[in-house]
Amino acid sequence: MQVEDETIPTQLIENRTPVERAILVGAPTREVSQRTAEEHLEELARLAETAGGEVIAVIRQRIDAPNARFFIGEGKARELRNLLNTTEANLVIFDDELSPAQGKNLEDLLGVRVMDRPELILDIFATRARTREAKMQVELAQLEYLLPRLRRMWSHLSRIRGGIGLRGPGETQLETDRRLIGTRISDLKKKLREVARARAVQRKGREGEFRAALVGYTNAGKSSLLRALSGADLFVGDRLFATLDSATRTVDVGSGHQALLTDTVGFIRKLPHHLIASFRSTLEEAREADLLLHVIDASEPDWEEHREVVQEVLADLDLTHRPQLLVFNKTDRITHEEEATLRARIRALENTPAVFVSALREESLIRVRDALKARIRSGLKEIRVSLPAGDGETLAALYREGEVLARRGNGTKVEVDVRLPAAFLGRLLGRDGIEILERV
């Protein structure tokens, strides 16, 4: 195969142009409740549509454990083949991750392309990535997914490109491709490490500022909240994974305080672990945050399962130790009674503090601002400081860096009661003529 270095991966995994008619397959184990099983399939259908596919049928089977050859039972697999023969479907999507062997066996049996949920998510991510970093992260995840499945992908490709004298790749060609992909993977990892280092430097420059990160299930309203809180123009979409690139904005929380708020990629159940791994550096923002705002769609009946999925991903990223504030969003879509039920449920659940808001109702956002302000203040030292009356520079710094509570002057001296970040307090002590009168 003659392709240039930069284009190898994207060409190998290009699969979104044709309109695909898909059959979905859900094969949960017996412990999964009926409602949850259906919810998962509905979400898979949404994902398939997001990727440009059309769902024409859904097949279900309860399994004790995945079948080693086909994931579903062999009889069910043949039923699927019959269904394919009587419909126009040209794609089968499994809700669960298939092993490379299962994928290959199924394609051999069915004669159409077979995908699983992780691959579908990767495909959507590929069309959403905007920044160079996000593109590299998605490409890396795709290549790592692809590598053990190369043989299958190749036969799929050679079917598409049948006309150009490709009669199916020989072993040599496969080996060459494996090597090329291997090289590309280490290349991408190296570049991503460089980006991560640059990010770390950038973060260092923001030390001392209060930082919060928005995390949550996809479509919960994270970007909407960041936009509403900061007034920034950010992309919001009623579709899965509208945002892939993390954005950081300054949010005014009142009383002269500000917080840096970062939007992150949304989570979803069965998120491919390659993807989590490759998005690690984007999520570093969350790791160093003083507070995680865990956004939950209050109008979503399955919010508890969504919340668990988010917690699992956070655990995967080693982020569960960060303080959290639950932000129940979209309260404009629920009744007061439903909100009361929710509140009772949360109290019963645990001690994580929670606020109820709607990104569409500016006045409700004061609850988020207040919660942020309270956190910022709890990290502040309240002091009474005395400074020379002429020291306008220090006085301005106090207003800028802290929260001035009271100010008195007696001609030569000014006394200020102020809440200050500990780091700034240290710097203040070094100035001429400054006296700390009282620590509260």
Closer Cβ to ligand GDP, 102 or 331, answer by number: 331
* Structure token digits, residue 289: 């945050």
- Residue 246 interacts with Mg ion (CB under 5 A)? no
Q: Cβ contacts of residue 361 below 8 Å, gap of 6+?
A: 331, 332
Q: What does 211 bind: Mg ion, ligand GDP, none (CB cut-off 5 to 8 Å by kind)?
A: none
The residue among 222 and 307 lying less far from Mg ion, judged by its C-beta, is 222
CA 400 to each of CA 45, 364, 395: distance values in angstroms, whole numbers, following the listed order: 51, 27, 9
Q: Which two tokens stand for residue 156?
A: 């799929």
Residues 407-426 that bind ligand GDP (CB under 6 A): none
The token pair that represents 435 in the structure block: 């006296």
d(CA 291, CA 276): 20
Least distance from ligand GDP to the Cβ atom of residue 366, Å: 14
363 binds, among Mg ion, ligand GDP, none (CB under 5 to 8 A by kind): none
Please, which of residues 206-225 interact with Mg ion by CB under 5 A? 222-223
User: Does 242 help bind ligand GDP (rule: CB under 6 A)?
Assistant: yes
Indicate the residue among 246 and 329 with the shorter CB distance to ligand GDP. Answer: 329
CA pair distance 87, 89, nearest whole angstrom: 5
Q: Specify whether the CB–CB gap between 25 and 92 falls below 8 A.
A: yes
Under the binding rule (CB under 6 A), the answer on residue 137 touching ligand GDP is no
Q: How far is the CB of 238 from ligand GDP (least distance, A)?
A: 3
Q: Which is nearer to ligand GDP, 338 or 438 (CB)?
A: 338
Complex with Mg ion: residue 242 or 376, whichever CB lies closer: 242
Closest to Mg ion by CB, 222 vs 269, is 222
Is residue 130 close enough to count as binding ligand GDP by CB under 6 A?
no
**50 binding ligand GDP? (CB under 6 A):** no
Cα separations (Å) of 435 from 108, 402, 414? 81, 17, 10
Q: Which residues contact 406 (CB under 8 A, 6 or more apart)?
A: 416, 417
Is 282 one of the binding residues for Mg ion (CB under 5 A)?
Answer: no
- Minimum distance, C-beta of residue 306 to ligand GDP, in the bound complex (Å): 11
The site string for ligand GDP over 247-286 (x = CB under 6 A, - otherwise) reads -------------------x--------------------
How many Å apart are CA 164 and CA 180, to the nearest integer? 21
DSSP class of residue 429 equals: H
* Contact of 175 with 195, CB cutoff 8 Å: no
SS3 415: strand
Give yes or no for a contact between 121 and 272, defined as CB atoms under 8 angstroms apart.
yes
**Which of 15, 142, 243, 264 is the binder for Mg ion (CB under 5 A)?**
243
Q: Which of 342, 329, 308, 315 is nearest to 222 (CA)?
A: 329
Binding residues vs Mg ion (CB under 5 A): 222-223, 242-243
Contacts with ligand GDP by CB under 6 A lie at 216, 218-224, 236-238, 242-243, 266, 329-330, 332-333, 358-360
